[in-house]
Chain A
């Protein structure tokens, strides 16, 4: 099967406009007859379900949580990018496009990224109209800040809770459509398979997580907005329930999986404190606007950080990357932290941490505030007190969160941070219309692979989720559904539904009847350790080959020795988790296979065999300028398809932030 990305012809900055001008439309009377299933209600799913409901389609939306408002988009902290150029600092659609392609280390599809940059401005308008309370200046206009990998201020934010506010905006639009009868919402439901009829996606099998019953739902099209697979690492900044199941079931039904090895390790997270740890907590990238990252110059320096003088500190990001300093992209910052810790300069009890220090920022802000007051003769203590107030207003909730977890006050003592798994750039392969290789099956947001290449820039995930849901799918879905207006709703008595439902039920029964000795959680932890050690921040051929063997062995052990208490037809959280972990194990194998195939370093994918003399990621554009799209061929068997990446505008060069 040849991959066709369906990129429109014409100049880069006209493609989307031309596409919209010529795309097929569905008239309002026909929209009422067309049913669309949306799986997941984060930024991508809630915005898609709401927008499609507004257009008049009959929408069914599903989420596994108790309310659509809980989706993990809620936890995004720092902000959302848009090429508004409100700051008059030289931003434009082209620059946002350029920064994103470069930030992704030239492994993203240019046409998709350009469209993303184009629609970014409308997202901010839409959210403000919904009542999203973005931060504002005293004149009443919107405020911006900087994020990594850019030299302009284009990030809109709501304190450290931007994802929450954006999701609540999309959620309110979704609930409005529920009230109007255009969307039917299924909470505490989990999609467990895609139903295909005549090679088209025609519905899903979902499990009611309260009663345990399986349900069949028909749709003329199915949209997967089910997020990323960071929990393959067990410890990540994802929510406990975040999983790959919906995407994985689609993959097993013929949807190719794109670039599974492209995972993002975020540089600033609270370090692991012990074996009991169930998840990791992010400290927003926005903290790198003002905080300075350092380690002691001397190995194994155990002094209190406050007692280490300036000339005995190594501000290693500022030293290595003077042009971007503490605001280098995430992959670069993460590797630099790992490098210092591996060399023995790490801090804290585990020595796997670096300092993020606000001392200078507090004094800098304090002096500005003192200057505003018109008085002089401020003492150092008074300046520090004024500065702390400013920092509290900007980052207060993040500082509080740090203190709750660690018991240390970050206004007084530098924070200890270390990289952690945060986001997955890989996902279901989609064409320009966000359609997977299965007709009628779409993937939006983090669940697809398309816009971030090998490394996502900060504040771009929220942008992409909302772009896909509010402004892309309402157009591209119509292009497919226009040819479906003659398809009347298919009864769920159709044999395809019955067969799929039976397969799902069989799998659940098999799982619960293993009655082994080991818990689901213990398998998940072991999977995470294999993937983190061998397919984490640094990867090499030998390790990846070992990891594949280990994951296969783990899979075998899981299916023969897992213990799941309770019943199938009842509320059973262990059973829910078991199904997800089983899918993550299979995905883990594919991730390692993909990482092994890609014998180059790019973005977050660092192959130790491929680095420059000073330890930077070294791409190989001659051999690897492609999207790896994996087709499932059965048990532990995949075929690699390649979508060549052609760069018309941004010519790939060695990425430099020096």
Chain B
């Protein structure tokens, strides 16, 4: 790869805490290598701010290899920036060119309040999982792992749904702030596997109820979530969620 260096203008959302109003601030960074990751460019900016006696920009990040789901920047109007199927931490500066202006905001959603600068509170996702995103099996209760053969295609589809990293890009990118892709992925994973059978109906009803309670919006099938999902989770999981929900609604009343 050809390497190059660039100077950039950054417009970054600054907000002291969840109560105060925030605004975009403008910063300049110089001599950024095209080999850097986007967050390494932020490291450079933060080091610069500390040396200047200013407060660095707070942002969430941890694994920096695209799997923990913690990083969460809205870059030039796109969740996780311009690359497809990619997290912010894996976005590299070769996606930009000298002289670019880059606007960076936090996830925007009623259900994800801003804590500081680019950091938001995504605990709503944990509470949705608490509502039913599990199989009730205490440690020690399991039968031999090969006792239940599972069709390879179902296992593969369950894995594809389970690959969700819980970052919230789907919510941030949706004009309605809907969490249907996140919920659909978990419901699908467990509905596709025989182990998920016994709790299939209560799970979908409880998770959807919690999702609504948290203030996430409805799905109007724009598919922006799938387009921005760093793990390529398919909207077919939303279709499965709807069908699971409908079936459960028809059958559970009699129970």
A residues bordering B, Cβ < 8 Å?
47, 50-51, 54, 65-72, 74-75, 84, 86, 122, 124-131, 133-142, 158-159, 161, 164-165, 168, 171-173, 175-176, 178-179, 185, 187, 210, 237, 239-241, 273-274, 276-279, 281-282, 400-401, 404-408, 470-471, 474, 519, 521-522, 563, 565-566, 570-571, 573-574
Q: Mark B171-207, 1 if CB is under 8 A from A, else 0.
A: 0000000000000000001100101100000000000
Q: Chain A residue with minimal CB distance to B133? A: A172
Q: Is the CB of B51 within 8 A of A278?
A: no
Q: Is the CB of A84 within 8 A of B145?
A: yes
- Complex CA distance for A47 and B139, rounded to whole angstroms: 9
Answer whether residue B119 sits at the interface, using C-beta atoms and an 8 A cutoff.
yes
Q: Which residue of A lies closest to B149 (CB)?
A: A140
Question: What are 20 A-B interface contacts by the 8 Å CB criterion?
Answer: A66-B60, A66-B122, A70-B62, A71-B68, A84-B145, A122-B140, A126-B140, A136-B152, A137-B152, A164-B165, A274-B36, A276-B40, A278-B37, A279-B65, A404-B92, A521-B47, A565-B50, A571-B17, A571-B119, A574-B50
Residue of A nearest to B115 (CB): A210
Bound-complex Cα distance A142 to B148 (A): 10
**Inter-subunit contact B43/A276 (CB<8 Å):** yes
- Which residues of A are found within 8 Å of B250, using beta-carbon distances? none
- Chain B residues 221-242 with CB under 8 Å of chain A are none
Is there contact, CB below 8 Å, between A129 and B141?
Answer: yes
Q: Is the interface of B mostly helix, strand, loop or mixed?
A: loop
Whole-angstrom distance between the Cβ of B186 and the nearest chain A Cβ:
9
- Does B109 sit at the interface, judged by CB under 8 A? no
CB proximity of B101 to chain A, nearest CB, Å: 21
Q: Decide if A131 touches B189 in the complex (CB within 8 Å).
A: yes
- Find B166's partner among A67, A159, A178 (CB 8 Å cutoff): A67
**CB atoms of A571 and B189 under 8 A apart:** no
Q: Would you give the shortest CB distance from B119 to chain A, in whole angstroms?
A: 7
Verify if B129 is at the interface (C-beta below 8 Å from A).
yes
Complex alpha-carbon distance, A317 and B33, angstroms: 35
Q: A322 vs B141: C-alpha distance in the bound complex, in angstroms?
A: 43
**B70, A66: Cβ atoms closer than 8 Å:** yes
Query: Which of A178, A400, A408 contacts B1, CB < 8 Å?
Result: A408
Which residues in A have their C-beta under 8 angstroms from that of B196? 131
B50 and A66 form a contact (CB under 8 A) = no
Alpha-carbon gap, A517 to B56, bound state (A): 15
CB distance from B33 to the nearest CB of A (A): 6
Contacts A136-B150, A140-B150, A158-B159 known; A566 to B65 CB distance under 8 Å? no
Q: Give chain B interface residues in 42-58, CB to chain A under 8 Å.
A: 43-44, 47, 49-51, 53-56, 58
Q: What's the Cα separation between A324 and B40 when bound, in Å?
A: 38
Measured CB to CB, the residues of B under 8 A from A are: 1, 17, 33, 35-37, 39-40, 43-44, 47, 49-51, 53-56, 58, 60-70, 83, 85-86, 90, 92, 94, 115-116, 119, 121-123, 125-126, 129-131, 133-146, 148-152, 155-156, 158-159, 162-163, 165-166, 189-190, 193, 195-196
Q: A69-B166, A125-B143 are in contact. Are A277 and B40 (CB under 8 A)?
A: yes
- Which residue of chain B has its CB nearest to the CB of A210? B115
Write out the residue numbers on chain B whose beta carbons fall within 8 Å of the beta carbon of A54: 138-139
B158 and A72 contact, CB distance less than 8 A: no
B134 touches A173 (CB 8 A): yes
**Which of A128, A133, A175, A519 counts the most chain B CB atoms within 10 A?**
A133
Evaluate whether A69 and B150 lie within 8 angstroms (CB atoms) in the complex, with A50-B139, A122-B142, A133-B155 already known: no
Contact: A161 with B67, CB < 8 Å? yes
Report the nearest A residue to B194, measured CB to CB.
Answer: A131
In the complex the two chains form, what is the Cα distance from A142 to B165 in whole Å? 24
Which residues on the A side are within 8 Å of B158 (C-beta)?
A: 131, 133
Q: Are A125 and B115 in contact (CB under 8 A)?
A: no
Choose from B35, B123, B152 the contact partner of A67 (Cβ within 8 Å).
B123
| Besides A70-B70, A71-B68, 11 other A-B contacts (C-beta < 8 A) | A65-B70, A130-B134, A130-B137, A133-B158, A134-B145, A140-B149, A175-B129, A276-B43, A281-B65, A563-B51, A573-B56
Nearest Cβ distance between residue B84 and chain A, in whole angstroms?
11
